Amino acid sequence: MVEIRFHGRGGQGGVTSAELTALAAIEEGKYAQAFPSFGPERRGAPVMAFVRVSDQQIRTREKVYSPNMVVVLDPTLLEIVDVQAGVPDDGILVVNTKMSVDELRKNAGLTRRLAVVDASTIAIETLRVPITNTTMLGALIKATGVISVDALRGPVQKRFGPIAEKNLQACMRAYEETVVEG
């Protein structure tokens, strides 16, 4: 079983990222859970969302404590949230940043494997809004292969309707541009 934690700010689509990941995995015939950090929601405040993906039926309702994968939707969170908390040594962090892997490691003091992409620029140029949820899914797919772009297509169409195609473009561009540490 794989566990993923998304860090975003309220309104950036972290919860949507988690939902789309789970829906894509279910589309592939797998089992999945997606859930927000339960409670009141505030625009701009740091928020988390969680996903489990497994080939077998998932029989736990625990919170996610040690995610194998972490996705950071907003680079400003690195200064105020310990995005590495609970991540095992072989875990991976997928980060929206303008920095390179080396710069990010040095500046943010991160010790796990890293994947980086400038998702904010891609989102602004493709979607005209700084909402990085679908963009960061492209980065997650490139870095981990936990779901496929094909399986994501249906859920994105259903969620975004007329702007689905643009979101898929942003996702694909992020997939191309994400740099994954070896």
Contact 143, 94 (CB under 8 A): yes
Contact residues toward other proteins (CB under 8 A) are 18-19, 22-23, 25-27, 31-36, 38-40, 58-63, 155
Q: Which of 36/46 has CB closer to other proteins? A: 36
Please name which of 147, 136, 149, 138 lies closest in space to residue 55, comparing C-alpha atoms. 147
Q: How far is the CB of 59 from other proteins (least distance, A)?
A: 4
Q: How far is the CB of 72 from other proteins (least distance, A)?
A: 21
Q: How far is the CB of 106 from other proteins (least distance, A)?
A: 35
Q: How far is the CB of 6 from other proteins (least distance, A)?
A: 13
How far is the C-alpha of 81 from the C-alpha of 66, rounded, in Å?
15
Contact 150, 168 (CB under 8 A): no
Q: Which of 43/61 has CB closer to other proteins? A: 61
Q: Which of 62/79 has CB closer to other proteins? A: 62
Round to the nearest angstrom and report the end-to-end CA distance of the chain.
23
Q: Which of 93/140 has CB closer to other proteins? A: 140
Please, how many CA atoms are within 13 Å of residue 169, restricted to the half-sphere of its CB?
A: 12
